[in-house]
A and B are shown apart, each in its own frame.
Chain A
Amino acid sequence: MSETPAIDVRQLHKKYTEGLISRKSFHALKGINLEVKRGEVFGLLGPNGAGKTTLIKTLLGIVRRSAGEAFLLGEVAGSREARRKIGYLPENLTFPAHHTATRALRFYGRLSQIPEATIRTRSAELLELVGLAGREKELARTYSKGMRQRLGLAQAMLHSPELLILDEPTDGLDPVGRSEIRRLINGLKEQGKTVFLNSHILQEVELVCDRVAILAGGKLRGVGTPNELTQQFHGALVSRVRMELSGDATVIEKIRTIETSELEPLPDGRWQFSASVESQAEVDALVDRFRAAQISIRQLDRTRLSLEEVFLSAVQAETSV
């Protein structure tokens, strides 16, 4: 595997300017630095208007960068050579009314300058892979959204690109459709392809991505694995402890010393105690104190912070800046 990163972005700025007379400008990207390693599945997260699509457009050369540098697989982003090496699935892809799956793959394959024979063999394989075999002669406009997305993924994979940029690949899909796309992305990962994924659905990202970047207000708020991001935004590994207790309520109330803890009554005189803890020692100390006060611990659950909570923390941090 080459040492150059799949995506290498340095101090990338993008400023949109509109109007001929009274020119208005909008700074969409503010000095983005990002490196995506080859072979990893990378997720880009961010609220609406964060600059995600602008970043992808800049990488593809659809919009010009205002400052900074960007490279795809060692090639200048937006160059014809870079575009030849990548596969792209845009958001809300629609196909021309006269396109069947076969004709669409042939058309986009020809645009990618793939030999005709390769287009034919790869089309058959990919249509089988994305589950459209047998329906390839139907007009794409009659397909469901999930089928169109799978066809879009097939066209992105047609020339076996090293890097795939997928913009909201599961947006608007039902759980089955999302699962299908996840399966395909995992398949790409197994093949050693680099996948750059832009999605709103944090669960999807958490499930398939090796690393994640959070973009807000045109700036990168964090880059790393979900654990790394959790640490980044909460200082340490933060867990949540939930216990089902029975015993004297006044005793339990006295023992609850942690500020973030909550106590809620349950039927049959039981209580649910929940609190955030930073270490195992803190959990052990809590258990010891309850047991010392003759409080019975009927159940104990311990959960990690979700990516959503991390994302929300990052976005809130951005808005409070």
Chain B
Amino acid sequence: MKPYIAILIDSFWEAVGNKVLWALLIGWTLILLALAPFGYITERNFRFSSFDIAKRESLIEELAKGTKGQGGRDVQAIAKELEPDFVKELQAAAASDAPARRIRDRQLSEALNHVLTSTKLYSEEAFPTAARRKRLEPLLAQSAESLSPKNLEQLNRELLQLAFPLDLNRARGEQLWIGYAGFKLGDPLGIGRREISEFVEPLLLNFIIKLGLGVVAIFVALIVTSSVIPDTFRSSSLHLLLSKPISRVWLFLWKFFGGCIFVFVNITFVLVGLYLIAGLRFELWNNGLLACIPLLMFVFVIFYSVSALAGLLWGNAIVCVVTCMIFWLFCFSIGFMRDIMRPQVEVNQQVSRVREIGQHVLTVNEQGKVGVWNSTYSVWQPATESGLQGQARTFGPIYDPQQNLIVIKSFFRLPFGELQAPSRKVSVIRLSESSSKLDQPTSESEIAPAPAADETIETNESDAHTAAPAIEESAEPVAGEAESVESNQPTNLSDAREKSLWNSDPGPALPEQLFELLEMDRKLIAVCRAGIYQLSLDKLEMKEVEQASVFGIKIPWIAGNAFEKVTPSDFYLADNTSAAVLSNESGIVIASSGKLDVLKFSGDKFVVEHSLTLSEAGLEGGLEGDGTEASLVQMNDNFCVLARDGLPLAVLDANLKLVGSVSMPASSKARQIAWLPGTNKLAIVTHTGELLQVDCDSLSLVSLNIPYAGKLTSVSWLDADRGWFGVMPNQAHLINVSERKVEQSCVPKSTTFELIYSWFINPLYLVNPKPSALDNTMSYLLSGDKTMTTQLVTRDLEAAQIKLQIWQPIFSNLAFVAVIMGISCIYVARKEF
């Protein structure tokens, strides 16, 4: 046997003989045994849980009205089926100041569950639209008495949903409980399997693996193994080892790897156990768990290399542990500083939309801030004031050339993808006449050629169509706004960064639970949970605005519900909805909960022209999805393309018949999709910054190698060859895709904060060993995603995701380990023991 293998085998027996190893293994076994009985319990169930009630106050109010014979017929029919005790409670609550406080969630859901068992709920008079719903047809064909209890529950749940489309969440049909040894724990979960696999699984696994193994187990292992090297190289047995015909460097290295056996046994035991539990109990056969074994070993090796060097130098196990802790603290501090700064510099600044409005280049960043390119100072000058700080979702900018105004609205994103803003009123920016004079169509000759992508890009006053020169050139500013525009001229760089260029007026309030705000035929189309609403852009004109006066001060817009509903009352949408205007502006396409609808105007209302449920489209092998995926949709005259999170692109024809599916490159997710004008080709900007092109005629997908590929964040096509591209971190470039040429560039000057990040923190982080960055690799192995959402779940594919540095930490850490081990080997070779 090779002598070095003997060292390894001996180390294994040393580990086996270590009581701490056995104590840890027993501890892990107990944890795994405690975890093993956990599992999902699935039932076909339509009953209510507290998660199903979206708007409690409104529901209680409506039900209370129903018990008094008020409200819609459907609500009254439901109120009749409530238990008498609850009705009394409801009426007492309604009479009180705070009705919602008197009725508990559980009480409310139990009352609704009682209604679900009623055989007398349905009547055509109370629910006139129910018969039009396809999935209710088979249930309504039978009498309620003859329905099975589950089918009766389903029917009544649908009827309740019709009566309270906004107050109740749609039933999933399948409910999940966390079970323990076959017993249900608490209420059904408010999330589906996909969300569990997207959010709960990574969170739990990350918690157990990263904290349990990556921190606790490795720290314990470092303490246990810290004595291996000092003992070997300081004890009286060293001279005996060195008298053997072996290399002392190899002796050190094999002793080092021998020390890793302890950790290997621990990690393998836990991860294989977790793999089996996750697979057998939760049907999550995640091979990434097994791939984490070498990765966690590597994390240990990084720390252990430091410990080993300290052991050689000082020969003391306690010093080894302390050195490791100092090393960890150093790495953590650098990583923490970078993690704090990174979203500010790399994520929130990303350009999510670019638009060329007249001579202005407007961008919207991930913070919802609208910037106008100011070439004088080479900065994105704020278009209006914005108080948003975190990641935001922005609707617009929608530009109306007739009135020369821009409509825009940003909402702050909450962790579960919900949108929140202090007010639902849109911002209306009325561009000044001085600007509008320059807002003539841009001629090619006016656009100065831009340098190549790999060159440093500088802009000057003459090469861009910007707000600042536009204002300066205005010879006679008109009264009122023009004056205010002039007063907003920045006088220095700091001013240009902070001073908003235009003033914005609060416009009409958007309807609740907005999914999309589109512009079609000079109308604002708001796609909301309760249906589709419209507002003519003409109504935004100041003259037509009904102004209110408060203490003599005129408020431009206070109307609360200027938007008019243009869909039937029973048309409502699910939580995950995306929509787009057809490229010929003849209607809109909506993707909602695994269903596609094409709606077109018939008179003054939208009607569904084509409809398709994806599970019935013929997609196979799980490609149909479960309807809860975040999606993006686009449609032109010939094709409709649906991009969903984690699924291939579905390509359908104009009648929503499935043409085929196109797989995205591995680990790529669509961030923005847009038709190349006048073609059947769809451009996809991915979260990894690539530009893909899908040819719907041939169902082929190609990656376009254009300047800044890998750093793209958004696209806005001017024609089939040219478009404005958002480029990381906060740039915008006009690129001719066919010629691969950058025609115009907007590269803002870095702020002091960005300079510190770019020239100090980031380089320091780059050269610094970063064991914690291996979490990225671990996340990739567990989820298969190269990008990571900043929210807990992906509700919106357009939200910027953080590009994971998957392999870079491995290389930098390998380099670090190689250096440390090299120093240790030289020390061992030269040291006279």
A interface residues, Cβ below 8 angstroms from B: 16, 57, 60-64, 80-81, 83-84, 86, 88-98, 103, 107-108, 110-113, 116, 152, 155, 165
Q: Which of B348-364 contact A (CB under 8 A)?
A: none
Contacts of A91 in B (CB 8 A): 236
Q: Identify the interface centre among B1, B235, B245, B246: most chain A CB within 10 Å of its CB.
A: B245
Instruction: Mark B227-247 against chain A: 1 for CB-CB distance below 8 A, else 0.
Output: 000010001110111111111
With a cutoff of 8 Å between Cβ atoms, the chain A residues found around residue B7 in the complex are 111
Pick the contact of B245: A62, A83, A95, A107 (CB < 8 A).
A83
Decide: A110 near B243, CB < 8 A? Known: A62-B832, A90-B236, A98-B13: no
Residue among B1, B13, B833 with most chain A CB within 10 A? B1
Contact of A60 with B13 in the complex, beta carbons under 8 Å: no
Q: Secondary structure at chain A's binding surface: helix, strand, loop or mixed?
A: mixed
Contact A83 B237 (CB under 8 A): no
Bound form: Cα–Cα A302–B312 in Å: 58
B237 contact from A93, A98, A165, Cβ within 8 A: A93
Within 8 A of A (CB), among B9-63: 10, 13-14, 16-18
List residues of chain A with CB within 8 A of the CB of B244.
83, 108, 111-112
Sample of 6 A–B contacts (CB below 8 Å) = A57-B832, A62-B833, A80-B245, A93-B236, A96-B237, A103-B10
Indicate whether A98 sits within 8 Å of B14 (C-beta atoms), given known contacts A63-B832, A93-B237.
yes
A107 touches B242 (CB 8 A): no
Q: Which residues of B contact A155 (CB under 8 A)?
A: 240
CA distance A98 to B18 in the complex (A): 8
- In this assembly, does B3 line the interface, its C-beta being within 8 Å of a C-beta of chain A? yes
| Residues on the B chain within 8 Å of A90, using CB | 236-237, 239-240, 243
Residues of A within 8 A of B3 (CB): 110-113
B6 at the interface (CB under 8 A from A): yes
Bound form: Cα–Cα A296–B398 in Å: 140
User: Please, how many angstroms separate the alpha-carbon atoms of A116 and B3 in the complex?
Assistant: 12
Is A111 within 8 A of B832, CB to CB? no
Chain A residues, Cβ within 8 Å of B5: 110
Most buried by A among B17, B240, B833: B240
Q: Which of B386-429 contact A (CB under 8 A)?
A: none
- Residues of chain A within 8 A (CB-CB) of B241 are 111
User: Is B235 in contact with A62, judged by CB distance below 8 angstroms?
Assistant: no
Q: Smallest CB–CB gap between A244 and chain B, Å?
A: 51
Known: A97-B17, A107-B6. A16 touches B832 (CB 8 A): yes
Chain B proximity of A90: nearest CB distance (Å): 4
Which A residues are in CB contact (< 8 Å) with B18? 98
- Which chain B positions have C-beta within 8 A of A103? 10, 13
Contact call A113/B245, Cβ cutoff below 8 A: yes
Q: A94 contacts B236, CB within 8 Å?
A: yes
A80 to B248: give the CA distance in the assembly, Å: 11
* B14 closest partner in A (C-beta): A98
Of A84, A90, A93, which is in contact with the most chain B CB atoms at under 10 Å from its CB? A90
CB distance from B250 to the nearest CB of A (A): 11
CA distance A62 to B236 in the complex (A): 13
Report the nearest B residue to A167, measured CB to CB.
B239
A95 touching B237 in the complex, CB below 8 Å, given contacts A16-B832, A111-B3: yes
Instruction: Determine the distance from Cα of A64 to Cα of B237 in the docked complex, in whole angstroms.
Output: 19
| Contact A57-B6, Cβ < 8 Å, known A62-B833, A83-B244 | no
Whole-angstrom distance between the alpha carbons of A132 and B6 in the complex?
23
Can you name 16 extra interface pairs (CB under 8 A) apart from A96-B10, A116-B1?
A: A57-B832, A60-B239, A80-B245, A80-B246, A88-B239, A90-B243, A92-B236, A93-B237, A94-B235, A95-B237, A96-B231, A97-B14, A98-B17, A108-B240, A110-B5, A112-B3
In the bound complex, residues from chain B placing their C-beta under 8 Å from that of A96 are 10, 14, 231, 237
Q: How far is the CA of A97 from the CA of B18 in the complex (A)?
A: 9
Contact B6 A110 (CB under 8 A): yes
Residue from B236, B245, B247, B832 within 8 A of A112 (CB atoms): B245
Question: Shortest Cβ distance from A36 into chain B, in angstroms?
Answer: 17
Q: Number of B interface residues, CB 8 Å?
A: 26
List of B residues within 8 angstroms of A81 by Cβ:
245
Interface pair A64/B832, CB less than 8 Å apart = yes
| Contact B1 A62, beta carbon cutoff 8 Å | no
Task: Report how far A81 CA is from B245 CA in the complex, Å.
Answer: 7
Q: Out of B231, B236, B239, which one reaches A57, CB within 8 Å?
A: B239
B695-714 interface code vs A (CB 8 A; 1 in, 0 out): 00000000000000000000
Q: How far is the CB of A147 from chain B (nearest CB, A)?
A: 16
How far, in angstroms, from A189 to B169 measured CA to CA in the complex? 95
Expressed in whole angstroms, the Cα–Cα distance for A110 and B13 within the complex equals: 15
Distance (Å) between the CB of A77 and the closest chain B CB? 11
With A94-B235, A107-B6 as contacts: A62 and B242 at CB distance below 8 Å: yes
B14 close to A86 (CB less than 8 A)? no
Residues of B805-833 contacting chain A, CB below 8 A: 832-833
Q: With a CB–CB cut-off of 8 A, which chain B residues contact A92? A: 236
Residues of B within 8 A of A95 (CB): 237
Set of chain A residues within 8 Å of B245, measured between Cβ atoms? 80-81, 83-84, 111-113
Q: B454-481 CB contact bits vs A (8 Å, 1 = yes)?
A: 0000000000000000000000000000
Give the interface centre of A83, A86, A91, A111 by most chain B CB atoms within 10 Å: A111
CA distance A98 to B832 in the complex (A): 27
B141 smallest CB distance to A (angstroms): 77
List chain B residues, Cβ under 8 A from A110: 1, 3, 5-6
- Contact partner, A62, options B14, B239, B246, B247, Cβ 8 Å: B239
Complex contacts, A57 vs chain B, CB 8 Å: 239, 832
| Beta-carbon nearest neighbor of A114 in chain B | B1
A94's nearest neighbour on chain B, judged by CB, is B236
Complex A-B, nearest 10 residue pairs according to Cβ-Cβ distance, in ascending order:
A98-B17, A110-B6, A88-B243, A111-B244, A84-B245, A63-B832, A90-B239, A80-B245, A83-B245, A111-B3
Q: A62-B243, A62-B832, A84-B245 are in contact. Are A107 and B237 (CB under 8 A)?
A: no
- B242 in contact with A60 (CB, 8 Å): yes
Q: Would you give the shortest CB distance from B831 to chain A, in whole angstroms? A: 10
Closest Cβ of chain B to A149, distance in Å, is 12
Chain B residues near A88 (CB, 8 Å)?
A: 239-240, 243
- Distance in Å: Cβ of B239 to nearest Cβ of chain A: 4
Q: Which one of A61, A98, A152 contacts B242 once the chains associate, using CB atoms below 8 Å?
A: A61
Q: In whole angstroms, what is the CA distance A80 to B17 when docked? A: 31
Most buried by A among B14, B17, B239, B833: B239
Give B247's nearest chain A residue, CB to CB.
A80
- Minimum CB–CB distance from B255 to chain A (whole Å) comes to 11
Min Cβ gap A217→B in Å is 20
Contacts of A116 in B (CB 8 A): 1
Residue on A with the closest CB to B251? A111
CB-CB < 8 A to A61: which residues of B?
Answer: 242
Q: Which residues of A contact B243 (CB under 8 A)?
A: 60, 62, 83, 86, 88, 90, 165
CA A112 to CA B6, docked complex, whole Å: 10
- Whole-angstrom CA separation of A19 from B231 in the bound complex: 24
Residues of chain A lying within 8 A (CB to CB) of residue B6:
107, 110-111
Complex contact A107–B239 (CB within 8 A)? no
> CB-defined interface of B208-244 with A at 8 Å, one 1/0 digit per residue?
0000000000000000000000010001110111111
Q: Are A111 and B246 in contact (CB under 8 A)?
A: yes
Tell me the minimal C-beta distance from A165 to chain B in angstroms. 8
- Name A109's closest neighbour in chain B (CB-CB): B6
Query: How many whole Å from B802's CB to the nearest CB in chain A?
Result: 45
Chain A residue with the shortest CB-CB distance to B1: A110
A86 to B240, CA, bound (A): 11
CA distance A80 to B3 in the complex (A): 13
Min Cβ gap B142→A in Å is 75
B236 partner residues in chain A, CB cutoff 8 A: 90-94
Residues in chain A near residue B832, CB distance under 8 A: 16, 57, 62-64
Distance to closest chain B CB from A153 (angstroms): 12
Identify the interface centre among B237, B242, B244, B833: most chain A CB within 10 Å of its CB.
Answer: B244
Once the chains are docked, how many angstroms separate the CA of A92 from the CA of B234? 13
A71 to B13 Cα, complex, angstroms? 37
Q: Which residue of A lies closest to B832 (CB)?
A: A63
Residues of B within 8 Å of A94, CB to CB, are 235-237
